[in-house]
Every structure is written in C-alpha cells, then in structure tokens.
Amino acid sequence: MTALDGPWTLHGDALDGPVPATVPGCVHTDLLAAGLIDDPFLGENEPKTAWIGRSAWAYQLDFDWSDAGDQRADLVCAGLDTIASVTLNGVTLGDTRNMHRSYRFDAREALREGRNRLEVRFADVYQYTDELREQLGDRPNSYPEPFNFVRKMACNFGWDWGPTLVTAGIWRPIGLETWSVARLAEVRPLVTLRDGIGLVEVHVRAERASSAPLTLTAAVGEHRAEVQLIDSDQGLVRLEVPDPARWWPRGYGEPTLHDLTVTLTDGDRELEVWQRRIGFRDLRLDTTPDESGSAFTLVVNDVPVFVRGVNWIPEDAFITRVDRSRYAARLADACVANVNLIRVWGGGIYESEDFYDLCDELGLLVEQDFLFACAAYPEEQPLWSEVEAEAREQVARLTPHPSLVMWVGNNENVWGWRDWGWQADLGDRTWGSGYYFELLPSIVAELDPTRPYWPASPYSGGPFTGAADRHPNDPAYGSTHIWDVWNTHDYTHYRSYKPRFVAEFGFQAPAAYSTLDRAQALAGPALTAHQKAGGGDGKLQRALDEHFGDVQGFDDWHYLTQVNQARAIQLGVEWFRSLRPHCMGTIVWQLNDCWPVISWSAVDGDGRRKPLWYALSRSYADRLLTFQPDGLVAVNETSSEWPLRLPVRRMSLAGEQLATADVDLVVPARGAVTIPLADSVGEPGPDECLVAGNAWWFSGRDKDLAYPAAAYEATASRVEDDVLVTVIAETFLRDLCLFADRVHPAATVDEQLVTLLPGDSFTFRVSGLPLDAAVDELTAAPVLRCVNDRVG
C-alpha cells in the first residue's frame, strides 16, 4: 500500500487559510502545532478549545498517481474520526459514521493520471448527535455529553479523569492499495490446544477481481497446509502443530510466540502474504457455582490464574501521539509493578496492533471491553448496524493475539440500568441490552469461540431477564466494582467485602509535583481545573481528615494525599489477595492517565510514577506477606513451595522489641496461609507496631498514633550516572518518600514509602539527575519526607 501521509492541509471556516496538517493526527494537534491555540493541557486552557469540536473541518491532499494497469485501486482508511465524507477529484467515495471501524473505498474510476486531489470533510459531531438524539429520544448518561449517540471514543467528551477535547481527523493511516485477481480481505486464525496438539484454524475471506482459481497456504514453522478456492471467496485451512511451546501469562512461564504465515496465490504468482505471531494456550473462564456464590477464575493451560490487573484508559487525550515506544514504556511500568493483566476499558478505543503485540511479547493478559461505558445506548438504526460492523471487524482483527483472553460487553451499563435511576427515564426505549446479551455474544461465538465473553463489568452471571435478576454488582458472583470506598467510606471498608473478582476499585491522588508544575496547575483555579471528579477535592479532604487531621499547605496536602492513595490500594489489594482462592483477581483503577490531572492513576499523565505505583509493585509481588485482622497472611503465586521462616515482632516506635513469635511453615504453590498471632505477640498499642519481613501493622490511624518527631541522617553521593541517598533512622520513620522530580523533572527514584525502625537504614537510587544539579536538595524536605514530619 502506498501511504498518503502528506503533505496534507487543514481547512476550516474559523481559519484565515489552510494550515499544515499531520496524518495520522487530529485538528487539535494541527492547530497546536501551527500556534493557533494554547495547549489545552496547561492551566485553564482546556475550555478555550471547546469550539473545535463544534466546527466542521476538511483535510486536503494533492498527490501524483500513475496507472500501472492493476484491476483495482482502493483508498484504505484505517480510522476516520468520525462523521466524514471522502471525495477524490470531486467524486464522493463514501461517508463514515464510526471512529472504531476501518473503511475501503473503490477509487479506480475516480483516479486520474498525474495530479489528484483527495479531501476528507469532517462534520460537526455535536450536530450529528443532536439530530440523532432528537430522532431516537434521549437516553440516561453519567456525563452531560452525547457520546452514546455516536460510535466515537466516549472519553473524548470528558470523564471524571479526562478533559473534554472532542477531536476530528484522520487518526489512523490512510493510503492507496492497487491489486489484481484477488486480495486477502480478512484472515482470522483460531488457535487452541487439544491433548498437547496445537490447532490452528485459519478462516480466510478473499476479495476477487477475477474468477481465477486461488490457492491458500498457511504455515507455522515446518508445518504447512493449503486449500484451493475455486468459485469461492472463503476458505478454511487447518494446521496441527505437535507439542508446541506454549504461551504463558507473566509469572506462569514463557510467553512463547510462533510465526503464522498465510499466502494467497494465483498459480505460481504470489498475490498477498499475511503474517502474524500467534500463541498456543488453552483458555477458559471458570464460573462454577459453590456454597458462597460462584467462581470467577481465569484458567490458562489448566492453571487457575490469580489476576493482578490494572485498568487501561487511552494513553493520551490526543491518541495519535501515542506510538509503540510510549506503549512499551507504560506496559513496562505495568510489568515492573508485577501486573499480569490489562483491562482495556470500554470508554476508550480498541488499541493498535503495537499495544496487543507488546502484550503478547510480555505475557500480559488482556481483558477487552467492547466500547460502551456509563450510559444507555440506543439500539435503533443507524447505530445497531455500526455496532455490528465494528464488533465484527475488531473481533476478527484481534483473534491472532494470545494475550487477549476475554471480551466484555460494556462498562457499568447493566449496573447503571439497575441502580442509577435509568429505568424511570427510559420508559420503553432501548438502552443497550440487545447489544450485551444478544448481538455481541453471538458475534464472539461465531467469529472467536476460543475466548470467553462476559456481558458487562460488573456482572454477576446468569441470563438477563430484568430487575428481578441477581444484582449485577453482587460480590459473591462474577465480577464486582467497589466504589463506595472512594465515594463515601474510609478505605478500611475494603475489608468488609469478600468478592470473587474485583474488576474496578480505586482512590485518587494528584499527579507528581513536576507534572503539575509543567501543567501550570500547582494552585488555585488551574489546579481545580485539573480535578475532573465531582466532589473529588472533598473526598480527598475527607480521607486526610480521617487519617491525618488538619492538613495545611500544598506540600503536606500533595504528599499525604499520595500516601493515602497508596495505602488505600495496598490495603484493598492485600485484603483481596488474602482471600485466595475465594477471590481470584483484582484490577486496580487505573494504571495510566491521558493528561496532567488529579486522578486514580498509578502513573501520571507525564509518565511519572506516583507513590501508588511503588505500593502496587509490593502488593502484587509473587510472594506477599500481609497483616490482616485474623493474623499474618502469606500468599504464594509461584509454581514452587515457599519455605517461610521469620520472626514476627511487636515493636515500640522507640525501637524496643516487646514480643516475638517465630513463623516456620511451607506455603504451597499458588496458595495462601493465614497464621494467627494475637495470643503470641499481642495487639500493638498507639506507640507500637507489628513487623514481619516488609509487612507492618499499626493499631489505628496516623493522627491517633504516638509518632516521634522525625530524626535521621541523610547523605547523597554520586555513583557514576546516579545519586545514592542513604537515610539512617534515628527515630521511627513511616512512609519515607524521596520526590526526586522536585529537584529536576527528569529525575526518578527506585523506591518510595519506606518505613524504618530506629537504627535501620535505607539507600534510594536516583537516576536522571543532571550532573550540575545540587544533590543536597535530595536530603531535605519537601524532597525527602515521611509521615511523622507532619503527624507526631
């Protein structure tokens, strides 16, 4: 295919003339590059760009073409955002209404020898949604925007962590493809394991320009098979691969990939070659009923997997700025934090091949939502046909990826219908149930029966018949979302739940200091503009009041809200892991951000790791020690037994050992053991703690504990390109953090949230600090600090 990547120009009624445009790209980034708008990520600029989403735009390209005699010439559009009309030399090739589909237009008759003009016009998406809403009737929605009336990235219209930046543009590659005889229109490999034999069923649909007999060949290594396509445009090639190396998730084995090559030929002439990497693994979702409800366990290669997951949102509000290197960096953040599953949330996009390829390589499981979130979605035309075409394309596209292990119908829409007052507003109007319980499961069953489908997140299983059904967010069944902790309860409330699988739970904190600084949002209205959650600041303050009492000043607020976020998620994760195997998975909301913001993320919008990320990496460790109300729990997610021998100590905060008990046991592979302790070491008082390995237990909230005033010796020294900061505790120090980015935006640190008894020491490694930076700043507040700086 010949890429049509420029030079494009952008045209609009609001412009004095055309401006250079980048394809793939969008109107916002083109206007930003031309200096015509201020960066909406900075300060209070975001609402100043609202007019862009309510305007019509056109992209124009002049290019040369020479007829080489091919039978067909197609304009291939991998992604148009969203309400578009495509013309070539004044001839309309087609119209589009769906960002989540690709399009192919026959351009042969419209092309000219020599100079050609291609134009893609984008209509005002609000005008489109307003007209459709008027026609179909309004539908309930968690946000005051019409994203449920158009097949476009929902969070483009704003979310409780994202800006309202309604884009338009050619957001994926566009090009001309010329061909003769036939081409591969769709290749859909279904890969399974049976009795140690790898089975590959390659379903192929060809598009023909002639009736010539065709040969279809599929090969994996030395294993080959072929079929003839005579008077047909569809074929199935079956391959068997004896005893293949299996694809395993992270922590369970190697994610081995095999090259699959599919070739279409006309006699001796090769017409097209399609190549992907596949993985052999057996997969099922165990939902067996039991005395407590029903399981929700992902089983890969006959091994039950405890999911240590994170939710994924679009990596940038302007998604065309996300390339393979940025995906790689963020997925590396997940891997180093001991994550084994990424849930691609339903208000974003079906991600690029780069994303799924990287997950395949890294052994990261992917749970993929269909793109519906937090709203009632009309089922009438033209939306039904758009949803069906989109789902068929995306299910077929993603079949080669072994990382993809589950399709989910929507995010929170069944829960919304049940609990959020939708039924009274809807009357007899459709709201999406036909998609989630009929259309989508039938498409998955037809095109990809190798993977499970689950109707919603959350969903408690069973057929859907109406309001009398089991509550969709019943923790005893299926998948659960837990949001009362963030909204109304202290985070210790997580321990009141005994769920089977938690697909969402989260707690907010601000982005890193230097991220907010770059965004010009360190204080006042600009900081408020970067808090999108309704009542979010009040909820942050409630948690500060509950744990720390009166907090004054930005530095204390910034640090302690980040500590609260880290502790909340650490408590939740470790509690749910302690329930293994009753509970078999947690998916934390959320890994990443799409701009600089106060949010639930572990890694902020500039790619900086918040203290939560460090807490998550410990809580998701293969081998975990955690204190819980019933004692010390040891969780072992490795394939070998864990001989555990260590003391459990009750210590005064002055460093005196008050009681001790020795633990000597073997934790089974993929298992958890609870060791009762109350009789042997006793409960700690307000000036005491329990410690076992890297696990700590305190009697209450920080404001009620008798912390000493922090005292320590801190030194910094350069070692090659890094700086080592060693802290020797003279008193007890809780949740010691080093915020290296406050010294220089490029500086990072290897650890955070370190707790030390008197006499203990710890060395932080700081990377990325320029040689001319003052290292002494690393040894004092507000860069280096602990909780008992503020509470004591």
Per the listing, tokens 């589009």 go with 96
- Residue 692 burial class via C-beta count within 10 angstroms: exposed 0-12, middle 13-18, buried 19 and up: buried
98 Cβ contact list (under 8 Å, min separation 6) = 82, 151, 152, 386, 389, 390
Quote the percentage of the chain above a pLDDT of 70: 100
Pairing of strands 169-170, 695-697: unpaired
- Angstrom distance (rounded) from CA 574 to CA 556: 26
Would you say residue 71 has pLDDT above 60? yes
Neighbouring-strand partners of residue 660: 649
Same domain, 615 and 632: no
Domain end call among 138, 157, 177:
177
Task: Indicate the helix (H) or strand (E) that contains 679.
Answer: helix 678-681
**pLDDT band, very low/low/confident/very high, at 679 (cuts 50, 70, 90):** confident
442 and 577 in a single domain? The answer is yes
For residue 143, the SS3 value is coil
Q: What is the domain extent for residue 442? A: 288-626
Domain boundary among the residues 244, 278, 312 is at 278
464 plus 494 within the same structural domain: yes
- Residue 274: pLDDT over 60: yes
Inform me whether the pLDDT recorded for 698 exceeds 60.
yes
Q: Which residues pair with 228 in a beta bridge?
A: 215
Name the domain count of the chain.
5
Contacting residues for 361 by C-beta, under 8 A, at least 6 apart: 255, 257
Q: For residue 452, how far is the Cα from the chain centroid?
A: 19
CATH number at residue 741: 2.60.40
Q: 764 near 727, Cβ under 8 Å? A: yes
DSSP string of 538-560?
Answer: HHHHHHHHHHH----SHHHHHHH
Neighbouring C-beta atoms of residue 329, cutoff 10 Å: 12
β-partners of residue 778 are none
Give the model's pLDDT for residue 101: 98
User: Token pair 């020797």 is at which residue?
Assistant: 728
CA distance 648 to 663: 7
Assess whether 128 and 256 both reside in one domain: no
Burial class (CB in 10 A: 0-12, 13-18, 19+), 339: buried
Residues 345 and 469 in one domain: yes
Measured between its terminal Cα atoms, the distance across the chain in Å is 67
The burial of 5, by beta-carbon neighbours within 10 Å (0-12 exposed, 13-18 middle, 19 or more buried), is given as: middle
Whether residues 548 and 644 share a domain: the answer is no
Extract long-range pairs of 489-493: CB within 8 Å, 24+ residues apart.
Answer: 490/543, 490/546, 491/543, 491/564, 491/567, 491/568, 491/571, 491/572, 492/571
Residue with tokens 């329930």: 579
> What pLDDT shows up at residue 774?
86
Residue 532 lies in a domain: yes
Q: Is there a domain that residue 283 lies in?
A: no
Catalytic residue IDs: 412
- pLDDT tens figures, 356-401: 999 999 999 999 999 999 999 999 999 999 999 999 999 999 999 9
When pLDDT is cut at 50, 70 and 90, the band that residue 791 belongs to is low
Same domain, 408 and 441: yes
Do 595 and 618 lie in a common domain? yes
Q: What is the DSSP letter of 437?
A: I
Residue position matching structure tokens 């959350």? 458
Please state, in angstroms and rounded to a whole number, the distance separating the CA atoms of residues 113 and 623: 67
Residue 61 and residue 23 in one domain: yes
Q: Do 407 and 499 belong to one domain?
A: yes
For residue 174, give both structure tokens.
């566009």
Q: Are the C-beta atoms of residues 594 and 315 closer than 8 Å to each other? A: yes
Q: What is the mean pLDDT of residues 756-769?
A: 97
Look over the chain and give the mean of its residue pLDDT values, rounded to a whole number. 97
> Is 25 domain-assigned?
yes
Q: Taking the CB of residue 465, how many other CB atoms lie within 10 A of it?
A: 8
The residue out of 677, 704, 731 marking a domain boundary is 704
At 636, the pLDDT band (50, 70, 90 cuts) reads: very high
Measured CA to CA, the distance from residue 331 to residue 335 in angstroms comes to: 6
Residue 790 has pLDDT above 80, yes or no: no
661 within domain boundaries: yes
464, 375: one domain: yes
Mean pLDDT over 328-343 rounds to 98
Pairing of strands 365-369, 712-719: unpaired
Question: Could you report the per-residue pLDDT of 585-618, keeping only the tens digit for each?
Answer: 999 999 999 999 999 999 999 999 999 999 999 9
Task: Determine, yes or no, domain membership for 692.
Answer: yes
Q: Kindly report the length of the chain.
A: 792
- 225, part of any domain: yes
Q: What is the mean pLDDT of residues 424-432?
A: 95
User: Residue 164: pLDDT above 70?
Assistant: yes
Question: Residue holding tokens 């909780």?
Answer: 787
Beta-carbon count within 10 A of 234 CB = 12
Q: Are 587 and 643 found together in one domain? A: no
Segment 670-695 shows an average pLDDT of 92
Q: What is the pLDDT of residues 505-554, one digit of tens each?
A: 999 999 999 999 999 999 999 999 999 999 999 999 999 999 999 998 99
Give domain status of residue 519, yes or no: yes
Which residue, chain included where needed, has tokens 């084995």?
253
Instruction: Identify whether 640 is part of a domain.
Output: yes
Q: Which has the closest alpha carbon to 579: 652, 441, 476?
A: 476
How is 750-789 classified by DSSP, letter by letter? Answer: S---EEE-TT-EEEEEEES--TTS-GGGGGSTTTEE-GGG
The rounded distance, in Å, linking the Cα atoms of 280 and 686 is 54
Nearest to 100 by CA among 347, 338, 399: 347
Q: What is the CATH number of the domain that holds 94?
A: 2.60.120.260
